[in-house]
């Protein structure tokens, strides 16, 4: 199971480190290794969130996530994205931007860093919306009940997440964006527009995927009711009822999976923002950066599939809570970094600590239930884990 899931990650690691050693020597090998570890530590909570979504998909879409998804993650976000940012901010053509990245690395790094306020506002608001929608929703399992119970009650107001996110964006624009460290000057307008862009992206992609997922669940419920009714009317000799809609039901499932896949990719992009910016503290070589962060991204994807196949989120029910709290913290950190420098080690440790605490609470909960690592049928609701 372990080798099957992480086999490609191990192979890519060997090839990537070998390539780094050949191209840049021992120093390049060390840089790529450090970047890989940086990406894994920053994005571990991303794997838990992805697993919560990916487990709703079939094996085909899980493979798409590991193949097409990793291409988007490595080449799109870790290699193409910084170049596109430079092209937009410096008003250069794609060829000129690539030439700048290869032949004038110091200026390239300066341009990418100057775009940080816009990147941080977009990613911070997007991640904050994920956290807010989670924390304001009524759930069977509550990790920090003293926080989650009252928030779930006031969360019945549908637009509350949007209101809180807009308030956070407004506060950021009027405080940390007025005199930023990256590029200098007043970035209020940039932060406001980028933050609204992150909010709109979340609402569009998340809303469409949620719509198709809801339609699919409704159709499944109707089909189940039709089958029960047919079986009751025909007795023991009743033949199985054909699923209503036939091919259209399959098409609906495909649409739901497709938009959920897009949602996953946008989440991954938001998580990668801090990794890409933080990588410049280690190197300004875009190819070494893409190689190191790409290896880390591959492990995160393999870990996501591993969590799905092992049913870890079902066995340890507070893991999703810890990951979402980590997402909320990362969203706030991104907004703060519009003006202030925060070490990537701090960012990574926040996520690791929150997930470790939620995992420990899950273990204690399972021991109390008498079934370590398994869901208990004795209780349908757990109100507090800590």
Q: How many domains does the chain have?
A: 1
Residue 375, SS3 per DSSP? coil
Is the separation of the CB atoms in 267 and 46 below 8 Å? yes
Question: For residues 265 and 73, what is the distance between their CA atoms, to the nearest angstrom?
Answer: 8
b/e map 49-68, b = 16+ CB within 10 Å: bbbbbbbebeeebbeebbee
- Which pLDDT does position 170 carry in this prediction? 94
Using CA atoms, how far residue 92 sits from 99, 108, 122, 269, in Å, is 10, 12, 22, 23
Residue 64's pLDDT band (cuts 50, 70, 90): confident
Using CA atoms, how far residue 70 sits from 57, 76, 204, in Å, is 17, 9, 23
- Which pLDDT does position 231 carry in this prediction? 52
Burial of 33 (0-12, 13-18, 19+ CB in 10 A): middle
Residue 382's pLDDT band (cuts 50, 70, 90): very low
- Which pLDDT does position 162 carry in this prediction? 92
pLDDT digits (tens, 9 = 90+) for 159-192: 889 999 999 999 999 988 887 765 567 788 989 9
Domain of residue 6, residue span: 2-369
Given a cut of 70, whether residue 107 has pLDDT beyond it is yes
233: how many CB neighbours lie within 10 A of its CB? 8
Q: How much is the average pLDDT of 324-338?
A: 88
In a domain, 118, yes or no: yes
Please name which of 40, 132, 47 lies closest in space to residue 320, comparing C-alpha atoms: 47
pLDDT digits (tens, 9 = 90+) for 184-213: 677 889 899 999 998 998 888 777 776 766
Given a cut of 70, whether residue 50 has pLDDT beyond it is yes
Helix (H) or strand (E) holding 273: helix 247-279
- Which pLDDT does position 213 carry in this prediction? 64
Q: How much is the average pLDDT of 372-377?
A: 45
Given a cut of 50, whether residue 346 has pLDDT beyond it is yes
In a domain, 378, yes or no: no
Structure tokens at 160: 């509350």
- Which pLDDT does position 156 carry in this prediction? 78
In a domain, 384, yes or no: no
- Which pLDDT does position 167 carry in this prediction? 94
Given a cut of 60, whether residue 35 has pLDDT beyond it is yes
Length of the chain measured in residues: 386
In a domain, 143, yes or no: yes
Q: How much is the average pLDDT of 121-137?
A: 88
b/e map 128-150, b = 16+ CB within 10 Å: bbbbbbbbbeeeebbbbeeebee
Given a cut of 70, whether residue 217 has pLDDT beyond it is no
- Which pLDDT does position 72 carry in this prediction? 81
Please name which of 59, 94, 169, 93 lies closest in space to residue 124, comparing C-alpha atoms: 169
Q: Which of 37-41, 97-101, 119-123, 128-132 has the lowest mean pLDDT?
A: 37-41
b/e map 90-99, b = 16+ CB within 10 Å: bebeeeebbe
In a domain, 350, yes or no: yes
Is the separation of the CB atoms in 304 and 51 below 8 Å? yes
Dihedral-angle region of residue 138 (phi above 0 means left; psi in -120 to 50 means alpha; beta otherwise):
beta
Structure tokens at 179: 């005199």
In a domain, 374, yes or no: no
In a domain, 185, yes or no: yes
Residue 78, SS3 per DSSP? helix
In a domain, 375, yes or no: no
Structure tokens at 173: 């624009």
pLDDT digits (tens, 9 = 90+) for 244-293: 333 333 333 467 777 778 878 877 777 776 677 667 767 778 888 888 88
Question: For residues 279 and 274, what is the distance between their CA atoms, to the nearest angstrom?
Answer: 8
Question: For residues 325 and 319, what is the distance between their CA atoms, to the nearest angstrom?
Answer: 10
Stated pTM of the model: 0.74
353: how many CB neighbours lie within 10 A of its CB? 14
159: how many CB neighbours lie within 10 A of its CB? 8
Read off the DSSP letter of residue 112: H
């Amino acid at each position: 199971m372990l080798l099957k899931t992480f086999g490609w990650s191990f192979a890519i690691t060997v090839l990537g480190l070998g390539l780094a050693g050949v191209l840049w020597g021992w120093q390049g090998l060390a840089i790529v290794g450090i970047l890989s570890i940086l990406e894994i530590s920053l994005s571990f909570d991303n794997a838990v969130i992805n697993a919560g979504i990916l487990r709703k998909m079939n094996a085909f879409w899980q493979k798409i996530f590991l193949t097409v998804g990793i291409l988007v993650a490595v080449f799109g976000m870790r290699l193409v994205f910084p170049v596109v940012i430079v092209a937009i901010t410096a008003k250069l053509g794609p060829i000129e931007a690539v030439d700048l990245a290869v032949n004038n690395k110091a200026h390239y790094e300066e341009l990418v860093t100057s775009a940080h306020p816009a990147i941080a506002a977009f990613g911070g608001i997007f991640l904050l919306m994920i956290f807010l929608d989670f924390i304001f929703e009524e759930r069977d399992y509550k990790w920090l009940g003293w926080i989650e119970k009252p928030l779930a009650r006031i969360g019945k107001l549908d637009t509350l997440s949007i209101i809180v996110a807009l308030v956070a964006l407004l506060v950021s624009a009027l405080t940390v964006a007025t005199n930023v460290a990256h590029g200098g000057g007043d970035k209020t307008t940039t932060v406001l527009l980028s933050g609204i862009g992150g909010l709109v992206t979340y609402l569009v992609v998340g809303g469409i995927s949620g719509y198709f997922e809801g339609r699919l669940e409704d159709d499944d419920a109707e089909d189940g009711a039709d089958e029960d009714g047919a079986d009751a009317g025909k007795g023991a000799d009743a033949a199985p009822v054909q699923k209503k809609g036939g091919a259209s039901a399959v098409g609906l499932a495909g649409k739901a999976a497709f938009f959920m896949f897009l949602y996953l990719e946008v989440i991954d992009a938001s998580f990668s923002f801090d990794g890409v910016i933080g990588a410049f503290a280690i190197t300004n070589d875009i190819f070494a950066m893409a190689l190191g962060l790409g290896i880390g991204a591959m492990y995160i994807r393999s870990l996501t599939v591993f969590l799905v196949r092992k049913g870890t989120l079902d066995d340890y029910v507070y893991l999703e809570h810890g990951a979402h709290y980590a997402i909320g913290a990362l969203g706030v950190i991104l907004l703060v970094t519009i003006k202030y420098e925060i070490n990537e080690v701090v960012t990574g440790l926040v996520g690791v600590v929150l997930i470790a605490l939620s995992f420990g609470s899950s273990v204690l909960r399972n021991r109390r239930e008498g079934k370590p690592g398994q869901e208990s049928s004795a209780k349908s609701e757990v109100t507090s884990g800590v």
